[in-house]
Amino acid sequence: MNEAEKERILTLVAEGTLRPAEATRLLAAIAALEEKPAETKAEAAQEDEQKQPTVEFKLQRPDGTHTVVQVPASLFPMLIQVLKVAAKESLRSAGQDIVAGTKVIVRRKVKDIKKRARSIIDGRPDTSAAASEETTEAEHEARRRILQMVQNGRITADEASRLIREIDAIEARGG
């Protein structure tokens, strides 16, 4: 047994950091590892990993399928932190996509309203059919983008439904 390791364990017992029972188990484990050949040490480490308790949870992929992930219990708190960051980033990105899509729709609607107002003020014939066609095309593009975000897993179907209802409401108002 490595004397430095033995001294360190005994020092921890003397300081009260380790209990004598824990120190006994550590000393026995170190002695057992020193007796085994190198390849057996790797097998022992692998067996120890397999004996560790694991936390199992199910993740849903963007396409709707599920996968089961097993994580050692000691790594679970760290995994939760990683998932929080990933979820936050995903929500931020989805929010930016929604805002960008909404801005495009609003800009096109404002442009259409300005054209209609100018034509009415100038007494020109109403070209709202062409403008309406452009608006309809913009609304179709907005719907396509929303469906793409659902497919990519950036927003849920409920959120997409709400956004499409908003587009329909804008269309119904004639704007």
pLDDT for residue 175 is more than 70: no
User: For position 139, what pLDDT does the model report?
Assistant: 78
pLDDT in tens, 72-130: 777 777 777 777 887 888 888 888 888 888 888 888 888 888 888 888 888 776 555 55
User: For position 23, what pLDDT does the model report?
Assistant: 74
User: For position 44, what pLDDT does the model report?
Assistant: 61
pLDDT for residue 13 is more than 80: no
The two tokens of residue 126 are 């109403």
User: For position 9, what pLDDT does the model report?
Assistant: 78
- Model pTM score: 0.37
pLDDT in tens, 31-67: 777 765 555 556 666 666 566 777 787 777 777 788 8
User: For position 173, what pLDDT does the model report?
Assistant: 72
User: For position 130, what pLDDT does the model report?
Assistant: 55
Domain ranges of the chain: 3-51, 78-172
Residues 171/164, Cβ–Cβ less than 8 Å? no
